[in-house]
Amino acid sequence: MRTTTARSIAGLTFIVLASAAQAADLRVQCYSDGNECEVTGDLAKRFEAENPGTKVIIDKVPYKAVVEQLPVQLAAGEGPDIARVTDLGGLSKYYLDLAPLLPAARAKAWQDNFASSLAWFRSGAADRGIYGLMSQLTVTGAFVNKTLFEQAKVAMPGPTATWDDWMEAARKVAVATKTPFAMAMDRSGHRFAPLAVAYGAKIFDANGVPVIDAGYQTAARKFVDWHKAGLMPKEVWGGVGGSQYRDAFEEFANGRVVVYYSGSWQIKRMDTQVTKAFDWAVAPAPCGPSGCTAMPGGAAFVALKHTKVPAEAAKFLDFLSRDDNYKELMARTENIPASLSVAKAGVTYNVSANAKAALNSFVADVPKIAKANYDLQGYRFNRAVFLPTAQRLGQAVAGEMSADDALKRLAADVDEQVKAASK
């Protein structure tokens, strides 16, 4: 009896261990701008059905965890198998090259369809690896409260309107409708960059090193002056300390600003939370003396070097990159596709008229994006520019220092961080 029981237990244990050894758990750390994690979860179930033995576990985390905790985890050799990240260049040393793990035909499809964004993940010009899948291509832009413009009987500026034109129009609307502020911008150097380039910032010097040049300074002074004039709310840029990110979505959704400069990743949120409150639209990229531009960006799923299931990780990302799945991901998350073939074929968005028009407006801005903005997005240490910009301009907006002092400090911070990163 005892021997039979012992044998049964041993047999059961063997079965459990054996099945555990065959099953591969693929952990995906994901943050959502709208519903990206949920849609990815649905696609993951289909992947599991096609690949029995692989279990995909989606760990949904706040964006802050991806920005602050993931890099430390990765530096310690820990972390998920796949992560959805926005610091594409900064984390490049941790990425798994998918190219050797993909069938030749699929690797070619990746190179052809995602050519424009693959460079953002690479460590240099000589690097031809495939490191990640853009889960969205984003473009910054201005959301406009159309209802307020209509109530104020102020015409919306045209396609070549400058930042000053938009500010003046929004100011008139704010006064007429008793809206507290004309414009708000997310507290982010990434959002500030198109304003800077529109006013002549080159971003990089001849050696490819970031520089706070005259154009950047002009834009910064203008930005601080807008806050001083009460056209922009102090609490967004001046209300928190350090380089912390803060969006101004709530200010726009609550009708406290007329124009909100953010980006295309907000479309889903606008559609679900704002459409029922008022009519909104996306303005064409505001212009400056140097042109009309926006900032590209996006979040990507990347497989990480330390993963114990590299083949499965590559398979899953390849599954997501397939035209049918990628199209569904874009349609359901209301994002702009980074895949050339999907963009050419078109994505059918089941969205409101506002969201559809917004997506078209953002897509129309893509050709206008200046080279400096593309280069900045692809620069490995772009956060060494973005984060100090948020901190120092935040201090100037809060009245802690003058714009000139803030710019001097900003230049020193960028210089220090870039030098430290190069060590």
Partner 1 sequence: MRQDARTPWFFLGPNLFIFGVFTFLPIVINLYYAFTGGVQLYPRDRPYVGFENLATLLDCGSYFDPSSCRKDIFWRAVWNTARFSVFQVSLMVLFSLGTALVLNRKIIGRGFWRGVYFYPVLLSPVVVALIWKWVLQREGLLNAGMVAAGANPVLWLAEPGWAFFWVIFVSIWAHMGFYTLILLAGLQAIPADLYEAAQMDRASPWRTLYRITLPLLLPNLLVVLVLAAIRAVQIFDEVFVLTGGGPGSATTFVVQFIYQTGFQEQVRLYGLAAAGSLLLALALVVLTLIQLRATRADKAGERAR
409 touches partner 1 (CB under 8 A): yes
Q: Which of 41, 90, 129, 291 binds partner 1 (CB under 8 A)?
A: 90
Q: Which two tokens stand for residue 34?
A: 């709208």
CA distance linking residue 132 with residue 381, whole number of Å = 18
Q: Kindly provide the b/e burial profile for residues 324-361, where b requires at least 16 CB atoms within 10 angstroms of the residue's own CB.
A: ebbbbbbbbbbbbbbbeebbeeebebebbebbbebbeb
Q: What is the DSSP string of 324-369?
A: HHHHHHHHHHT-B---HHHHHH-------HHHHHHHHHHHHHGGG-
Q: Which of 25, 42, 68, 404 binds partner 1 (CB under 8 A)?
A: 68
Q: Specify the residue, 145 or 382, whose C-beta has the smaller distance to partner 1.
A: 382
**CB of 261 vs partner 1, minimal distance in Å:** 20
**CB of 416 vs partner 1, minimal distance in Å:** 8
417 touches partner 1 (CB under 8 A): yes
User: What sign does the CA torsion over 334, 338, 339, 345 have?
Assistant: positive
Q: Which of 17, 75, 214, 229 binds partner 1 (CB under 8 A)?
A: 75
71 touches partner 1 (CB under 8 A): yes
381 touches partner 1 (CB under 8 A): yes
The contact pattern for partner 1, residues 326-365, with x = CB under 8 A and - = no contact, is ----------------------------------------
Q: Give the closest residue to 99 by CA, choosing from 129, 78, 135, 132.
A: 129
Q: Specify the residue, 234 or 368, whose C-beta has the smaller distance to partner 1.
A: 234
Phi, psi of 413 (to 5 degrees): -65, -45
**CB of 95 vs partner 1, minimal distance in Å:** 16
242 touches partner 1 (CB under 8 A): yes
CA distance linking residue 139 with residue 367, whole number of Å = 11
DSSP state of 9: H
Q: Give the closest residue to 395 by CA, choosing from 204, 223, 211.
A: 223
Q: Specify the residue, 234 or 322, whose C-beta has the smaller distance to partner 1.
A: 234
Q: Which of 59, 168, 213, 235 binds partner 1 (CB under 8 A)?
A: 235
Tokens 């050894």 label which residue? 21
**CB of 23 vs partner 1, minimal distance in Å:** 32
76 touches partner 1 (CB under 8 A): yes
241 touches partner 1 (CB under 8 A): yes
Q: Specify the residue, 254 or 360, whose C-beta has the smaller distance to partner 1.
A: 254
H or E element in which residue 54 lies: strand 54-60
Q: What is the signed CA dihedral for 286, 288, 291, 297, rounded to 10 degrees? A: -50
**CB of 228 vs partner 1, minimal distance in Å:** 14
Strands 138-145 and 280-283, sheet pairing: antiparallel
**CB of 190 vs partner 1, minimal distance in Å:** 12
CA distance linking residue 326 with residue 337, whole number of Å = 8
Q: Specify the residue, 122 or 380, whose C-beta has the smaller distance to partner 1.
A: 380
User: What sign does the CA torsion over 28, 33, 36, 41 have?
Assistant: positive
CA distance linking residue 245 with residue 240, whole number of Å = 9
Instruction: Choose one: 209-217, 238-246, 311-319, 360-368; the region binding partner 1 (CB under 8 A).
Output: 238-246
401 touches partner 1 (CB under 8 A): yes
255 touches partner 1 (CB under 8 A): no
CB atoms within 10 A of CB 10: 10
Q: Which two tokens stand for residue 7?
A: 């044998």
Q: Which of 162, 244, 272, 290 binds partner 1 (CB under 8 A)?
A: 244
CA distance linking residue 102 with residue 198, whole number of Å = 41
Q: Give the closest residue to 138 by CA, choosing from 34, 310, 263.
A: 263
384 touches partner 1 (CB under 8 A): yes
78 touches partner 1 (CB under 8 A): no
87 touches partner 1 (CB under 8 A): yes
Q: Can you give the C-alpha Rg of the chain in angstroms?
A: 24
**CB of 386 vs partner 1, minimal distance in Å:** 8
369 touches partner 1 (CB under 8 A): no
209 touches partner 1 (CB under 8 A): no
Residue 27, strand partner residues: 57
Binding stretches for partner 1 (CB under 8 A)? 68, 71-72, 75-76, 87, 90, 234-235, 238-244, 246, 254, 381, 383-384, 386-387, 391, 394-395, 397-401, 405, 409, 412, 417-418, 420-421, 423
